[in-house]
Amino acid sequence: MTTTYQVHTDVAVITLDNPPVNGLNWSTRKQCLLHLEQALADPSIKAVVLHGAGKAFCGGADIKEFGTPKALEEPNLSTLIIAFENADKPIVAALHSVVMGGGLELSLACHYRIAAPSCQVALPEVKLGLIPGAGGTQRLPRVLGVEAALNMIVSGEAIMSERLNMVPAQKLFDQMAQSSTSLLDEALDLARDRSALRPLPKVRDLKAQHPQGDAYFQFAKNMVKNSPQAKHLPAPLKAIDAIRQATLLPMAEGLAFERETFLNLMWTPESRALRHLFGAQRNASKVEGLDSNTAVRNIQHVGIVGSGTMGVGIAMNFLMAGLAVTLLDTNQAALDKGLQTLSLNFESRVKKGKLKADQLQTMLKNLSSSLKFEDLAPCDLIIEAVFEDMKVKENVFKALDACAKPGAILATNTSTLDVNAIASFTQRPSDVVGMHFFSPANVMKLLEVVRARETSKEVLASVMAVAKKIKKIAVVSGVCDGFIGNRMIEQYFRQAGFLLEEGCSPEHIDQAIERFGFAMGPFKMSDLAGNDIGWAIRKRRYQETPQMKYSPMLDLICHLGRFGQKTGAGWYDYTSGKRDAVHCPLVQKLLDDHRAEHGLTLRKISDEEIVQRLVFSLVNEGARILQEGIASKASDIDMVYITGYGFPIFRGGPMHYAQEFGVLNMMGAMKRFALNPKDDAEFWQPAPLLQTLAHAGRGFSQV
């Protein structure tokens, strides 16, 4: 049973009990309706309270049912809402913890609402490429006012109940409860107090209006069109249209408009992509071999080895999560610089209102520093963030093995090196794991967790748990050169180099891929990360895999010391204190001279070809990674690229995009690229997994 029914003298309590967030799947809707009918048919029952068990009132509809017959099967959510709205006995919604999506829409069909403190309220459907589909765009403006409702619906963000209660003339909450623990008792009192009042108040009978009318809605649309977050998504604009209808049409017609819009959006590629990513994020935490019974180590004190940019960023994550941190470096000047950077970063957050001064003081009290490895002895987790050189890593891990307490987790932040080899430098390889943070580490959401050959289940589970604590999206990777993200991005950047040889400018390539939706193109990205990093990898490749083909043009600027933003010059020029990429005539001349010297024939290359070569290179390498078991799910690869590399969310990640494009269609393009003498024909041979999928007519979601 996913709902329960209890009688408290003369009030029936219907409790949603469908963990974890009391989602309104078909079974829950059916049971809820049956309980409502039971209460309405019982003459001894004077009123009804709708409550939610556990840690949520209701998190909304079940996304697994979206696009399936179950979503529309009776009773669907709209049918349930109408039944609550038309009940002839008062219904009080007792709201607490989480009230989102269909849960909020159902509460708006109740006659009264009482909210506990710190209740998160949201209509987050736009984050799935949709609009509310069960009356949210029609009822919320009636109780909260058009502007407040529009801001909530278009952003999809959760707002605390206390803040909503302060909205002038709001009718969302009839009463605020003293606490979550007293909520049910206060809801019962409210139900009894209103049990004899008639007529019963209905949200649909209220008016929704805005004094500026169409001028306001046009202003709202202009704001959305200029928003980087929403400009590629149809749902926010459609939500504004639906809210406008709430001010113009009778309720029934407004609901019909909303429903039609919702169903049309359901089949858009943007909604499919966003719903895919919603599931991908949840599934990333489901790791083969781990379950709820896997032991998790208690991590309260974290050591960071290396006080450079990465070390400082990593330290900030743990300090913001309330953990103790010891920052270690072997050089006093470097340590002092790192501590100064950390302090400045935190002070900047205080100035921007993202951090309170007292919170900063607490964090600084949790921070210690040292020049001696012995001072890391109390740490539960130690993360190495030093120079990307295997000999340096060896020295660090031998030192850690000697000083760390038994049971401490030893993690490396390496972005490409062999974690199995790093683990072998210790006498405790089962305690060694990769934790690859992305720069800037205190901002980027992605954490690649690298499972080495002997990494224990307990260590892996512990790292996944601490990743959640520091609000990272953790994706598990096996061991290979570059893991998931950097192994794929190397192929992407190789293609960018070949395109330079064939006549493209760095600006043309960057602009084409940015118009596709990437946050930044390959050359801006390389300038941000540091061109010397990619150069170091290529120099290693020239020795280890001399048959691997690269464009020599990628090394030209590195020979001049143009390493990117950190040197003020890379593929672009940069002004001190700014990140704006400025065209550099010197780089253009460098490329032109190289082409002339080597007699390279140039051709006009379309944006479409640029995008396909860059994106399909990611997909082909991703398919190999899947087949090798480095990634366990195609959706994990998509999460890596969405959260770590700026792949456009409205396209769902490279593997999802390939599925939407059609694997067979993609292979046709790859065959054309293989005929290009300036490209790498061997690389463009489709990965065996691609061939299997194409022949079976399947996509990556079916792997």
- Known catalytic residues are 105, 125
If we measure between CA atoms, which residue out of 501, 489, 587 comes closest to residue 538? 489
Cα separation of 210 and 90, whole Å? 30
Encoded amino acid at 384, one letter = E
Angle at 441 between CA 435 and CA 444, to 5 degrees: 100
Burial code of 585-607, b = ≥16 C-beta within 10 A, e = fewer? eebeebbeebbeeeeeeeeebee
Where residue 129 falls (left for φ over 0; alpha for ψ -120 to 50; beta otherwise) is: left
Cα separation of 303 and 328, whole Å? 7
Q: Return all residues near 280 (Cβ < 8 A) that are at least 6 apart.
A: 633, 635, 636, 638, 639, 653
Q: Return all residues near 348 (Cβ < 8 A) that are at least 6 apart.
A: none
Angle at 684 between CA 682 and CA 687, to 5 degrees: 100
Q: Does residue 5 contact residue 35 with C-beta atoms inside 8 Å? A: yes
* Beta-sheet pairing, 446-450 with 432-437: antiparallel
Cα separation of 635 and 657, whole Å? 11
Q: Please name the residue that has the structure tokens 């943070």.
A: 437
**Does a cis peptide bond (omega within 30 degrees of 0) precede residue 199?**
yes
In the 8-state DSSP scheme, what is residue 456? -
Angle at 698 between CA 655 and CA 65, to 5 degrees: 80
